[in-house]
A and B are shown apart, each in its own frame.
Chain A
Amino acid sequence: MFEINRRRNNPRWNIREDLAGYMFIMPTILVLGTFVVLPILYAVFLSLQKVQLLGGIEYEFIGFRNFTQLAEDERVWIALRNTAQYVAIVVPTQTVLALILAVTLNSGIRGKNWWRILYFLPTVTSSTVLTLIFMWIYNTDGLLNDFLTFMGLPTYNWLGDPAVALKGIMIMNIWSTAPFFMVIYLAALQDIPQTLYEAAELDGANEWQQFIHITLPLLKPVTFFVVAVGVIGTFQLFDQSYIFSGGTGGPNNATLTVVLLIYQSVFRNLQMGYAAAIAFLLAAVIIAITLIQRRLFGGERI
């Protein structure tokens, strides 16, 4: 009450506080304005133009032709299909693996923190380094094929065979991302009150029943978060495909992803407007899936 009156009665105080507020937030406004808000508007503009990049930049308004071109472009469909396949396999696998690891770590074993630090290693390491290491392990005469031979299993040309190239990236990314979600699950598991399990035990529920009827339902909001972040992350696959294929998306477009296609459209084909249209397509797909997922999870708020 007192402060409100002071503000009303003293315009100088008012201005001073406004000034302080804006001095604190001005850098943020400038940066987000220039590199997020302006780019969004610019992207809308670009997607309706044919952009010429000879010397200076020239624009030619072509309406929705970039978007109609999308539907006819075979590589867009290949990239979408690859990316969708990647998401469909990687997200469920890494989520289940993360949950298994978290529950195992949380079951009263010794040295929990040490396991956790160890498992987290791949998440901390850069995708560039991981991709290089895996490319080497995936070599035709590399460690993985040695191991498969030793086990009496068939070997693959992981990098050169279109049938398995994307699977190689999947394996690597499940391996490197699962620990991140494991840590999130671990944090959530620790928030579940012990009394719930004690009560269930008194009621005669065994450990498996406790897991199904207490742990899983209480983890639902976290699972929503893990799946949502997983979907967004996997749809943006770029680094690994780029490094694996030397930027081409090969062999035979097997590792071509939507973001790699956007990159190629800009820097190989110099089609800025078309690339902006692909970016909008990708954003629409991600937003749609997130909304559907929110429906499925009953509109849980995180």
Chain B
Amino acid sequence: MIKISGLSWLKVLLYILLTFYAIVTLIPFLWALSASFKPLTEIVSGEPNFLPKNFTLDNYRQIFLQEPLFWRWLFNSVAIAVSVTLLNLLLNSMAGYALARLRFVGKRFWFFLILAVLAVPTQITLIPTFLILKAIGWLNSYQGMIVPSMVNATFIFMMRQFFVNFPKELEEAAQLDGLNTFGIFRHIVLPLAKPALAAQAVFVFMGSWNNFLLPIVILFDPEMFTLPLGLNTFKGQYISYWNYIMAASMVFTLPALGIYAFFNRYFIQSVTFTGGKG
């Protein structure tokens, strides 16, 4: 590790390196953002100006007002990502809590099964899942997108580890006060698990919001598309209208950025948690 005090040439070099990489990180986004406010004529003129000469909101007007399905895709994405996130938070913590705290017949078996599930590559389950959803008539539906994704073995395991290290006294006190298992879980355990839940919310929401493979396999009606699929067909339809494509991309990126900014603190904490500490 490099540890520098005072302003030395090495430190100046580090700042230059960091600034350079910040530029590398930002340029594609700034370029896309600026294009979303440019008329197409300015974009194809090939001038590399980051500040639009003829600033316009027409691109956003076009996608929101003229593109009939854009609102629908936005709605689908939000509905699916929010449902998947809420269900994951509830079901993963319930399962994690049961595995950490409750005693029931077959607990060890279920715990090892969940651990085993963690190691299964998604490609293996993708095609059979498609056929199972087809058999129960859930292709091209919200429930087909939500139900298979509403629990996650990784986060069940994470919640179990969290609850195992959780002080038992509060739960015991609540039990003496006459709360049953559900009451304890609802009023004592869940509120105290907020940091773990927040981190999970970011991961699950992002995963669902950005998912491309599962929707492209099970959704085929443009009305049912989520934003990633919509955007992909959008690209085909407006093949060289980069102004519209970039405006739509910016709209799609905003919610993920918002969630990330809002939960950033927890997010980093949780990475510390999964970062391989002994």
Q: Mark A residues whose CB is within 8 Å of B.
A: 7, 17-22, 24-25, 27-29, 31-32, 34-40, 42-43, 46, 57, 101, 103-109, 115-122, 124-130, 132-134, 136-137, 141, 143, 146, 175, 179, 183-184, 187-192, 197, 207, 210-211, 214-215, 221-222, 224-225, 232, 236, 238-239, 242-243, 246, 258-259, 262-263, 266-267, 272, 275-276, 279-280, 282-283, 286, 302
Interchain pairs with CB closer than 8 A, number: 274
When A and B form their complex, which 4 residue pairs have the shortest distance between CB atoms, in order from nearest?
A: A21-B104, A39-B128, A126-B210, A42-B128
Q: How far apart are B180's CB and chain A's nearest CB, in angstroms? A: 8
Q: A103-B2, A266-B217 are in contact. List 5 more A-B contacts (CB 8 A).
A: A27-B95, A28-B156, A107-B1, A126-B228, A129-B252
The secondary structure that dominates the A interface is helix
B153 interface residue (CB < 8 Å to A): yes
B29 interface residue (CB < 8 Å to A): yes
Q: Which residues from chain B contact A27 at a C-beta distance below 8 Å? A: 91, 94-95, 150-151
Give a binary string over B239-266; 1 marks a CB under 8 Å from any A CB, 0 the rest.
0001001100100110011001100100
Q: Which of A43, A104, A146 contacts B48 (CB 8 A)?
A: A146
Q: Which of A31, A38, A129, A239 contacts B253 (CB 8 A)?
A: A129
Chain B residue nearest to A272 in the complex (CB):
B127
Alpha-carbon distance A167/B12, docked complex (angstroms): 33
Alpha-carbon distance A152/B67, docked complex (angstroms): 41
Please tell me if the beta carbons of B123 and A25 are within 8 angstroms of each other in the complex: no
Please tell me if the beta carbons of A18 and B46 are within 8 angstroms of each other in the complex: no
Residues A184 and B124 in contact in the complex (CB < 8 Å), given A25-B99, A128-B210, A137-B28: no
Q: Mark B residues whose CB is within 8 Å of A.
A: 1-5, 11, 14-15, 17-18, 21-22, 24-29, 31-32, 35, 46, 48, 91-92, 94-95, 97-99, 102-105, 107, 110, 113-114, 117, 120-132, 147-148, 150-151, 153, 156, 180-182, 185, 206, 209-210, 212-213, 216-217, 227-228, 231-232, 235-236, 242, 245-246, 249, 252-253, 256-257, 260-261, 264, 268, 271-272, 274-278
Please tell me if the beta carbons of B31 and A137 are within 8 angstroms of each other in the complex: yes
Please tell me if the beta carbons of A238 and B212 are within 8 angstroms of each other in the complex: yes
Which of A25, A101, A103 has the largest number of chain B CB atoms within 10 A? A25
